[in-house]
Amino acid sequence: MLARICNPCQSKLKIMKKLLFTIFLFATLLLPCSAAGKVWLFSYFRGNGEDGLHLAYSRDGYSFTALNIDKSFLTPAVGVSKLMRDPCIIRTNDGTFHMVWTAGWTERGIGYSSSRDLISWTEQKYFIVMEKEPTAKNTWAPEITYDKKKKQFLIIWSTTIPGRFPDTEKAGDTGYNHRIYSVTTKDFISFSETKLFYDHSFNVIDATLARVKKKYVMFLKDETRNPPQKNIRVATSKNLYGPYSAPSAPITGKYWAEGPTSVKINNEWIVYFDKYVDRKYGAVSSEDLVTWEDISDKITFPKDARHGTVFEVDEKILEKLLKEKK
């Protein structure tokens, strides 16, 4: 014969269930920037970029864990130096991932490859985007963006052309005085003429673009050495291709920062960056892109991770990456 549970006991059980549910709900709300079902990946390099592409993942945008035991997913094979620094990855609507990277310290070209799963990649290509500038010293930190309306890719990067901007040559690191340049392409076979993309009379590198409602935001590094800046700033435009405004005041603190990459999680914009002197990653957050809070002490990245890109993927992509071990 089954024993009956007394009414007072039933009432206590209901109260306990409600209490436990309330505690669970409250704890969930306290999780920083969590988003159910969301996964973010971080593409980065280690050392000098000799071994190629590294990936890490996060479910909250705050804590990133290395994939593949922090071993490379793709070894660099193009360019004179055969490096894979500053890997920038985006995903288009057809599910294809497109990646560009810095192929060497003193080269006039950039690397490119694509993938459907971030594991198998197409044959690597090398595009000499500064071919008509024989004295160009470098092509650093290329970033790729897709324009859905024009159905084309915009690629931007920083280059020093000696003597091109004499007024600021003494303000930079010895021999370097960068500006941001760009090309467009629909198929990675033919390219537009290389254009000067951003010049506001200061040494600038590491520009990255984000769309915010009806405008575009460019996070960039003020590379001025004398007097030292080495910080992240913000410029805006109504058009993807510019012109972009003069830079804002620094959004980073009293440390040297470079390689910004941004994502929006819920109502919060997070800009991650390489605190390269301190050999660790930092971040700032904002809800209005005007007032910024330093959240560097709240984030974790793989040890010795260098300049990369944070981007969103679906769970199926992550599942395959978690099984991959080379």
CB neighbourhood size of 176 (10 A): 18
Does pLDDT of 24 surpass 60? no
Most confident of 4-13, 19-28, 233-242: 233-242
What does the pLDDT look like over 257-281, one tens digit per residue?
999 999 999 999 999 999 999 999 9
What was the pLDDT predicted at 22?
Answer: 43
What does the pLDDT look like over 50-105, one tens digit per residue?
999 999 999 999 999 999 999 999 999 999 999 999 999 999 999 999 999 999 99
User: What proportion of the chain, given as a percentage, has pLDDT over 70?
Assistant: 88
Structure token pair of residue 132 = 């008509």
Predicted structure pTM score: 0.89
What was the pLDDT predicted at 172?
Answer: 84
Instruction: Assign domain 36-221+308-323 to its CATH architecture.
Output: 5 Propeller (2.115)
What does the pLDDT look like over 121-151, one tens digit per residue?
999 999 999 999 999 999 999 999 999 999 9
- To the nearest 10°, report the CA torsion of 54, 57, 61, 64: -70
Structure token pair of residue 48 = 């000098």
What does the pLDDT look like over 143-154, one tens digit per residue?
999 999 999 999
- Residue ranges of domains in the chain: 36-221+308-323
Residue 29's pLDDT band (boundaries 50, 70, 90)?
Answer: very low
What was the pLDDT predicted at 171?
Answer: 87
Q: How far apart are CA 57 and CA 293, in angstroms?
A: 23
Taking 3-state DSSP, the helix, strand and coil percentages for the chain, each rounded to the nearest 5, stand at 15, 40, 45
Structure token pair of residue 224 = 């001025």
Q: What are the residues whose beta carbons fall under 8 Å from the beta carbon of 103, sequence distance 6 or more?
A: 76, 78, 79, 80, 81, 82, 83, 84, 85, 109, 110, 111, 126, 139
- Which is more confident, 172 or 87? 87
C-alpha closest to that of 109 among 147, 137, 72: 137
Does pLDDT of 11 surpass 70? no
Q: How far apart are CA 35 and CA 28, in angstroms?
A: 10
